[in-house]
Structures are given as structure tokens and as C-alpha cells.
Amino acid sequence: MPVGRINRIIGGFYYISTEEGRTITAVPRGKLRRADGLVVGDVVDFELTAPDQGVIEGVHPRRNLLKRPAVSNITQVAVVFAHKNPDFNYLLIDRLLVMLAASNLPAIILFNKADLVDEKTATENAEPYRRIGYTTLCTSTKSGQGKEQLLAALQSEITTLAGPSGVGKSALINMVVPGVKQQTGAVSAKIGRGRHTTREVRLLALPQGDGFLVDTPGFTQLDLDFISPAELAACFPEFGAVEQDCRFQGCCHDQEPDCGVKAAVAAGAIYPWRYENYLAFLAEVRNWEEQKRQRSRRTRR
């Protein structure tokens, strides 16, 4: 049976990219039609009923599933921020990186709107994450800066762009996927934020090779409620290199004495603001855990 990937869902019709690179329109067989049945990104078996029409017969197991927005089988997330307008901040970047790490999703980081800052500032903004080991790119959809590096980073991957509204996610897609005209929206001068222009989830085939790009609406859900305190440190890659110096196994790098992470911060090997962000998230996930404990105690009574 032929196999394809759902690239778009509109009003009960499923658009499928076939292995030959064509798109067919299909409807799912009865049992697949249920509420959270099929999402963009799903690999499906289908039967052709006409040259460009078909029926979806089954769905392959998913390697992952993002809920908001609903998309499956992502291999990496490009976290997009703007050098300026709207301004980035490291706390928000770290929050997103932690969420992705805890979801086992590899991340690359894009600093867009490089045309709005000088080259030195652009390099400095991205430098910490480059040193930590992330792939970081400085791009501009106005000048085309970073286009080739971005295309290379997207090769053979199914990448979703994530980041605040107005940073230029749709504009970046327009830059690397010629022919699509993703709608972009001006950043509101009054509130300095985007307007959540993108509403639909859609998989776009890259012009060369076998990669896909997903434009998604800016993120809405940023709670760390699914992460346990014990898991959090592993979401900071640079902590891993010094954890062996902690005296206690399972050290939370918080109140414990003889902590390798704290020593590395003091020695300047770990950025103090990364450690501070870690502590802020630790307090947050402990709080979530406490809330869950109280809730389960209440239901047991």
C-alpha cells in the first residue's frame, strides 16, 4: 500500500505528500475519523481512488506528538527569537529550551532580524548558546543573511519553528521555501508584540532534499508542569559536564554543599544567568509537584 505524510488538514480533507513528491487529497476511513485521530505530520497508508485522491487506511506509530499545536513526528525544533522588535530575553529562551529538552526534542536556535543590530551585537547575543553547544544561526529575512546555513540545518529533518509572535517565523519560511506565501504580520508598535498571524498548522516540503518545515502559531503553553525537579538539571547541557564533581548523587545544585555546578558558576565556566534561570525553574517545578501532591491527597481523602 502506498505511504505518505499528512501535510495539511482542511475541513475534513487530508492533504498527503506521497513518496514521489506529489500531493493527493484523501479522507480517512471510518475508525480513523475520530476526534484526535490524525494530525499533520502523521505517516499514513492510503489507497488511491483517483489519480490525485485517496482513502487513508492506517496510521504509523508516531515518534512524538505535540499537542498545541497538534503535529507529530517532529525531528527538531528551531527556536526563533528576534535580536530586536520584539526583544528576546534569555529567560524565555531557556524556558523553551527546557521544555524541548524534557520532551526529547532536539533544538537549534535562530536569532532573526540580524539587520536591526550591528554584527558585533548579533554575535554576542547568540554566543552563550553557541558555547553551550547549541547550533545557533543569525538570520535576516530582509538581507537574506543566514539562508544557506538555515537550509543546511533543515536538511532531512522535520523542523517546526517555535517562538514568540512577531519574531519572523513565517517570514523565515517564505525565505527558504520559495512559492509559499505564508502570511506575516507587523509587530504592533503599541504593545511591541506580534499579533499571532499564523493560525493553521502546515507541513512544507523544502525545495531541495527531503526536509519539511512546519509553520505553527506562536506558542501559547509554556508551563513546566510536566517536568519533575529531578529531570530539570539534565535540560541544561553544560551542567552535565560538571555534575560528577557534586558530592551528593541526585544533587539539585541548590542548597547542597560541594556542588560541581555551583563551583563551575563561581569559576566562570557556567553563565550565572543560566544558573539563576535554572533555580527559577526549579522553584517552579517544585511548586507544580507540591500542587499535584496536594491534589492527590485531597482526592484520596
Ligand X SMILES: Nc1nc2c(ncn2[C@@H]2O[C@H](COP(=O)(O)OP(=O)(O)OP(=O)(O)O)[C@@H](O)[C@H]2O)c(=O)[nH]1
Residues contributing to the site for Zn ion (CB under 5 A): 246, 251, 253, 259, 261
What's the closest the beta carbon of residue 27 comes to ligand X, in angstroms? 29
179 or 257: CB nearest Zn ion: 257
**Polymer length of the chain:** 301
Interface with ligand X includes 140 (CB under 6 A)? yes
Of 8, 197, 200, 263, the one binding ligand X (CB under 6 A) is 197
* Burial (CB count <10 Å: 0-12, 13-18, 19+), residue 244: exposed
| H or E element that contains 96 | helix 90-102
Instruction: Tell me the DSSP string of 195-214.
Output: -------EEEE-SSTT-EEE
Mark the segment that binds ligand X (CB under 6 A) among 61-69, 135-143, 224-232, 265-273: 135-143
Instruction: Tell me the DSSP string of 231-279.
Output: HHGGGSHHHHTTGGG-SSTT--SSS-SS-HHHHHHHTTSS-HHHHHHHH
Mark the segment that binds ligand X (CB under 6 A) among 11-19, 129-137, 186-194, 272-280: 186-194
Report whether 209 contacts 177 (CB < 8 A).
Answer: no
For helices 272-300 and 90-102, give the axis angle rounded to 10 degrees: 50
Contacts of 18 (CB under 8 A, 6+ apart): 2, 4, 24
**Which residue of the chain is nearest ligand X when measured via CB?**
168
Interface with ligand X includes 218 (CB under 6 A)? yes
Interface with ligand X includes 213 (CB under 6 A)? no
CA distance 140 to 114: 5
What's the closest the beta carbon of residue 99 comes to Zn ion, in angstroms? 22
Q: Tell me the per-residue interface mask from 190 to 209 with Mg ion, x by CB under 5 A, - otherwise.
A: -------xx-----------
What's the closest the beta carbon of residue 173 comes to ligand X, in angstroms? 8
CA distance 144 to 138: 10
If contact means CB under 5 to 8 A according to the sort of partner, which of Mg ion, Zn ion, ligand X, none does residue 171 touch? ligand X
What's the closest the beta carbon of residue 170 comes to Mg ion, in angstroms? 3
CA distance 5 to 43: 4
Interface with Mg ion includes 219 (CB under 5 A)? no
CA distance 150 to 160: 13
Of 69, 146, 194, 229, the one binding ligand X (CB under 6 A) is 194
24 or 162: CB nearest ligand X: 162
What's the closest the beta carbon of residue 92 comes to ligand X, in angstroms? 14
Q: Binders of ligand X among 85-124, rule CB under 6 A?
A: 112-113, 115-116
CA distance 217 to 197: 7
Interface with Mg ion includes 139 (CB under 5 A)? no
Interface with ligand X includes 142 (CB under 6 A)? yes
Binding site for Mg ion (CB under 5 A): 169-170, 197-198
